[in-house]
């Protein structure tokens, strides 16, 4: 069990490779994918793993590329609009995006051999979109983020807290940001008088009245897939995809809280900046089989190995406090910026290993006029692992992953109907279960260098899509619309009695794909 006071004292922690940084929330962010790719793939809800013959299937079932009988080049782009509603706040962000570029080269072996085609492919696509703006406010009824700050430095005695407070004013004191078991957020709280000492010489925070939060996230996951696929007797299709993911995520946030303690009161502001970059690699193996020779019905299966990520975090924070003591008789003001004490941004390298993924699919065509596909995908988020940059296991945060994340189930269905030889209409639906347990919270440790204590637990996701397609002998074009909606619960900090801010996020995407066959 995670310690709710956020004080984790273990022998291993004291000798581990460094202070904690990564959390289960970064793990969830980089695990799984969203519905994106070509407009045809999106229009059919991505339920094409058994149907194949679409370049986007190399990222779900690599064997789908084995159904190509001609070569192809395509690219996709469009617009994304993300709307977030939390209480009385509405946020809206619209961005242009270039979503896909790829090709398939189909090489025919012959009709007399068991091996009919060998196909090669490459595809770039956006697999996750992180763009979002968000705002919220709460009445705290005495709860306060400063109490979490105090808990984080609960292992320090009164003398150590005095030294932290007086650093820079008294010669010979050690920079508290350079002491291994001193958490950055707790140190900032002490130096801005948001954390004090009670009558028993223990760290204590303030009482919270109201708070406000504004956050902005940008970036995404970009996937680069290289594929090799085989067609055996026009009945068995095999494929292999080497995938490389590029990570680019940035978050900036502003938090303010009105605080009080009897005749004392005031407010403070906490500004956070966080950036995550890196890359990962995985392998995907897939097969598609037509069990009845004269039937178009196909079944498929695929296995994705874990994605092995090498990641770099950069972050910093600033606290500004304005406090009045004894009904305003004495005023205290302070600004504490971590960059002033650590020579710029704090940088941490680490490794992440995402879970295995399994995909089962089925699809068929009816009279060459209608195509129907369905699939199920399983990924157990709780089995992800976190490591330090030297490869040593990060036992504490891996345990948090195991306790707070759970298995995720994804269902996809889609159909395509040909209205004329060149024109088609499409529709699809996706359901993805919630990745977080109801008890999940962000656990920052007693020596943590992170200062962003806010977190969001996303719930199940629903996605509906539709599309139109034109297919000529050489040129083809597809248009798709996707509506993605999910609810989440936002917490400004961790406290047992803190109620979450209920949040609704709706995303609209219009996607256009153009390509040629040869």
Question: Which tens digits make up the pLDDT trace of 211-222?
Answer: 999 999 999 999
Mean pLDDT of 301-329: 95
Q: Terminus-to-terminus CA distance in the chain, angstroms?
A: 59
SS3 call for 40: helix
Band of residue 112 on the pLDDT scale cut at 50, 70, 90: confident
**pLDDT tens-digit map of 9-66:** 333 333 333 455 678 999 999 999 999 999 999 999 999 999 999 999 999 999 999 9
Q: Which residue has the tokens 């209480």?
A: 87
Confidence band, pLDDT 50/70/90 cuts, at residue 305: very high
Tokens of 273: 């900046």
248: nearest Cα among 126, 91, 379: 126
Note whether 218 and 180 are within 8 A (CB). Answer: no
- Residue 166: pLDDT above 70? yes
Tell me what the mean pLDDT of segment 98-111 comes to: 95
* Token pair recorded at residue 228: 């090799």
Say whether pLDDT at 342 is over 50: yes
**Residue 26: enclosing H or E segment and its boundaries?**
helix 24-30
Say whether pLDDT at 302 is over 90: yes
On the question of pLDDT at 341 being above 60, the answer is yes
Q: Where are any strands of DSSP class E within 87-235?
A: 89-108, 115-129, 132-142, 196-197, 203-204, 207-232
How far is residue 331 CA from its own chain's centroid? 42
Mean pLDDT confidence for 58-78: 97
Q: Where are the beta strands (DSSP E) in 262-356?
A: 264-289, 298-304, 308-325, 330-337, 346-353
| CA pair distance 327, 308, nearest whole angstrom | 56
Q: What is the pLDDT of residue 30?
A: 96
pLDDT digits (tens, 9 = 90+) for 251-290: 999 999 999 999 999 999 999 999 999 999 999 999 999 9
Span 366-390, average pLDDT? 96
Q: What is the pLDDT of residue 23?
A: 87
Task: Check residue 21 and give its pLDDT.
Answer: 65
**% of residues, the chain, pLDDT over 90:** 87
pLDDT higher than threshold 80 for residue 291: yes
Residue 384 in tokens: 């992800």
Region 198-226: mean pLDDT is: 95
- CB distance 503 to 75 below 8 Å: no
CATH class of domain segment(s) 20-129+219-517: mainly beta
Where is 190: in which H helix or E strand? helix 184-191
Under a CB-based contact definition with an 8 Å cutoff, are residues 321 and 192 in contact? yes
Q: Which two tokens stand for residue 440?
A: 């999940």
**Picking from 228-237, 444-453, 483-492, which range would have the lowest pLDDT averaged per residue?**
444-453
Please report the pLDDT score of residue 44 as a whole number: 98
Please report the DSSP string for 460-510 in residue order: EEEEEEEEEEEE-SSEEEEEEEEEEEEEEEEESS--TTPPPEEEEEEEEEE
Q: What is the mean pLDDT of the chain?
A: 93
Q: Residue 268's beta-bridge partner residues?
A: 257, 321
Whether the pLDDT of residue 333 is over 90: the answer is: yes
Residue 235 falls in which region: left (phi positive, over 0), alpha (psi -120 to 50) or beta: alpha
| 343-354 pLDDT per residue, tens | 899 999 999 999
pLDDT band at 111 (very low <50, low <70, confident <90, very high): confident
In Å, how far from its chain's centre is CA 265? 38
Confidence (pTM): 0.90
Q: Which residues contact 72 (CB under 8 A, 6 or more apart)?
A: 55, 103, 104, 106, 515, 516, 517, 518
- Looking at residue 19, its pLDDT comes to 57
Burial of 198 (0-12, 13-18, 19+ CB in 10 A): exposed
**Is the model's pLDDT at 371 over the cut of 80?**
yes
Q: What are phi and psi of 9, to 5 degrees?
A: -115, 105
What is the CB neighbour count within 10 angstroms for residue 460? 14
Burial of 210 (0-12, 13-18, 19+ CB in 10 A): middle
Average confidence (pLDDT) over 224-230: 98
| Mean pLDDT of the 413-442 span | 96
With beta carbons less than 8 A apart as the criterion, state whether 52 and 67 touch.
yes
Residue 412's CB is within 10 A of a number of other CB atoms, namely: 25
> Domain map of the chain by residue range?
20-129+219-517
């Amino acid at each position: 069990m995670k310690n709710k006071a956020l004080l984790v004292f273990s022998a291993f922690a004291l000798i581990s490779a460094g202070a904690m940084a990564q959390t289960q929330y970064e793990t969830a962010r980089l695990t799984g994918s969203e519905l994106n790719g070509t407009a045809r793939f999106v229009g059919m809800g991505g339920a094409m793993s058994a149907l194949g013959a679409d370049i986007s299937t190399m990222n779900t079932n690599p064997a789908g590329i084995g159904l190509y009988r001609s070569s192809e080049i395509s690219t996709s782009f469009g617009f994304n609009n993300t709307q977030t509603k939390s209480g009385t706040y509405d946020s809206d962000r619209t961005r242009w995006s270039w979503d896909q570029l790829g090709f398939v080269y189909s090489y025919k072996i012959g009709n007399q051999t068991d091996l009919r085609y060998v196909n090669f492919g490459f595809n770039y696509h956006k697999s996750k979109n992180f763009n979002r703006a968000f705002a919220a406010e709460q009445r705290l009824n005495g709860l306060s983020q400063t109490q979490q700050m105090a808990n984080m430095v609960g292992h320090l005695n009164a003398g150590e807290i005095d030294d932290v407070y007086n650093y820079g004013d008294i010669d010979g004191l050690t920079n508290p940001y350079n002491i291994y078991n001193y958490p950055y957020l707790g140190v900032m709280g002490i130096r801005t008088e948001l954390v004090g000492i009670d009558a028993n010489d223990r760290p204590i925070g303030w009482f919270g009245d109201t708070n406000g939060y504004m956050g902005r996230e940008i970036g995404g996951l970009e996937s680069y897939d290289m594929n090799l696929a085989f067609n055996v007797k026009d009945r068995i299709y095999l494929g292999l995809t080497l995938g490389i993911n590029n990570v680019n995520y940035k978050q900036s946030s502003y938090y303010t809280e009105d605080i009080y303690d009897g005749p004392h009161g005031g407010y403070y502001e906490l500004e956070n900046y966080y950036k995550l970059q890196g890359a990962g690699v995985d392998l995907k193996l897939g097969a598609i089989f037509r069990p009845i020779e004269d039937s178009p019905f196909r079944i498929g299966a695929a296995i994705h190995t874990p994605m092995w990520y090498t990641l770099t975090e950069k972050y910093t924070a600033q606290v500004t406090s304005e406090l009045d003591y004894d009904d305003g008789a004495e005023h205290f003001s302070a600004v504490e910026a971590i960059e002033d004490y650590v020579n710029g941004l704090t940088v941490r390298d680490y490794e992440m290993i995402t879970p295995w993924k399994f995909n089962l699919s089925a699809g068929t065509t009816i009279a060459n006029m209608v195509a129907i596909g369905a699939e199920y995908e399983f990924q157990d988020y709780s089995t992800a692992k976190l490591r330090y940059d030297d490869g040593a296991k990060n036992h504490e945060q891996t345990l948090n992953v195991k306790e707070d994340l759970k298995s995720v189930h994804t269902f996809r269905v889609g159909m395509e109907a040909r209205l004329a030889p060149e024109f088609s209409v499409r529709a699809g639906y996706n359901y993805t279960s919630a990745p977080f347990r109801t008890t999940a919270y962000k656990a920052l440790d007693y020596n943590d260098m992170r200062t962003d204590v806010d977190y969001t637990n996303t719930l199940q996701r629903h996605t509906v899509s539709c599309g139109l397609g034109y297919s000529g002998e050489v040129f083809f074009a597809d248009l798709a619309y996707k509506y993605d909606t999910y609810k989440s619960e936002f917490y400004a900090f961790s406290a047992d009695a803190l109620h979450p801010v209920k949040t609704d996020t709706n995303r609209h995407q219009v996607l256009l794909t153009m390509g040629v066959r040869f």
